Amino acid sequence: MNELHKALGEISSIRRQMARSTEFRGYGPATLATTSVVAVVAAAVQARWTPDAAHHLAAYLSIWVATAVVSAGLAGVQVYRRTLREHSGLSDEMIRMAVEQFLPSAAAGLLITIVLVRAVPGVLWMLPGLWQVIFSLGVFSSCRFLPRPMVAAGTWYLLTGMVAIALGDGRAFSPWVMGVPFGVGQMLVAGILLWSAQEGKHES
C-alpha cells in the first residue's frame, strides 16, 4: 500500500511539473474580448445613471462589482470548458494553476475594497486605481505560463492604475477611468492570445 501511495504521489508530482512547463491555453480571445465590451457597457451605464459617482458611492460600487462578477463568471466558465478541450489529461492541474495565479490578487482587491468602504471612506477615490494595479499583479503573476507579450497587458493595467491614483480626487470616479483601461486592456489580452494561437498554427 505504501508503494502504491508513493507511486501515485510521484505521478501527481510529474503531472504538476508538466503543467508548470506548459503554456496555458484555457483563456479564449473571444470571451476576453467580450469582457472588454462588458467594461465599456458598464462605463456607459455609469455615465448615464450615476454621473456624480463621488456622491453615490453605493451605486458606483454596485456597477463595478457586478461588472467584475459577470466578467469573472464568463471567463471562469470558458476557462473550464476550453481547458478540458485544450489540455485534456492535464486539465485539472492547469485549471488549478490558473486559479492559484489570480486568486491572491482577486482576494486582495476584495479585501481592500471592504476595508476602505468600512474604515476609510474618505479615500475611496483611490479604488479605481488600486483595482487596476491589483489586476496588473494578477496578470504579471500569470505571465510565466501565458504568451510572453502578455507582460504588455500587465504593464498597461499598472500604468493606468498609477494614472488613476495620480488624479488624486473624485475625478477618479469618472466612468472612463475604469471603462477605458479595462476596455482596452481586455481587448489587448484577447489580441495577444489570438496572435499567439495563430503563431502556434504556423509553427505546427
138 vs 133: CA distance, rounded Å: 9
Dump pLDDT digits (tens) for 29-42.
Answer: 999 999 999 999 99
DSSP calls for 144-177: GGS-TTHHHHHHHHHHHHHHHHHT-SGGGGSHHH
Residue 16 has pLDDT above 90, yes or no: no
Do the beta carbons of residue 192 and residue 150 sit within 8 Å?
Answer: yes
For residue 131, the surrounding DSSP H or E stretch is helix 127-142
Residue 47 has pLDDT above 80, yes or no: yes
Single-letter amino acid code for the residue at 184: V
- Residue 161: all three cell numbers together: 492604475
28 Rama sector, left if φ>0, alpha if ψ -120 to 50, beta otherwise = beta
Do the beta carbons of residue 88 and residue 15 sit within 8 Å?
Answer: no
Helix axes 127-142, 91-119, angle to 10 degrees: 160
Single-letter amino acid code for the residue at 2: N
36 vs 30: CA distance, rounded Å: 10
Dump pLDDT digits (tens) for 86-99.
Answer: 776 666 777 788 88
173 vs 190: CA distance, rounded Å: 26
Residue 11 has pLDDT above 90, yes or no: no
Dump pLDDT digits (tens) for 149-202.
Answer: 999 999 999 999 999 999 999 999 999 999 999 999 999 999 999 998 886 555
Dump pLDDT digits (tens) for 97-129.
Answer: 888 888 999 999 999 999 999 999 999 999 999
pTM: 0.88
pLDDT of residue 12: 52
Do the beta carbons of residue 183 and residue 46 sit within 8 Å?
Answer: no
Single-letter amino acid code for the residue at 172: A
First-to-last C-alpha distance (Å) of the chain: 43
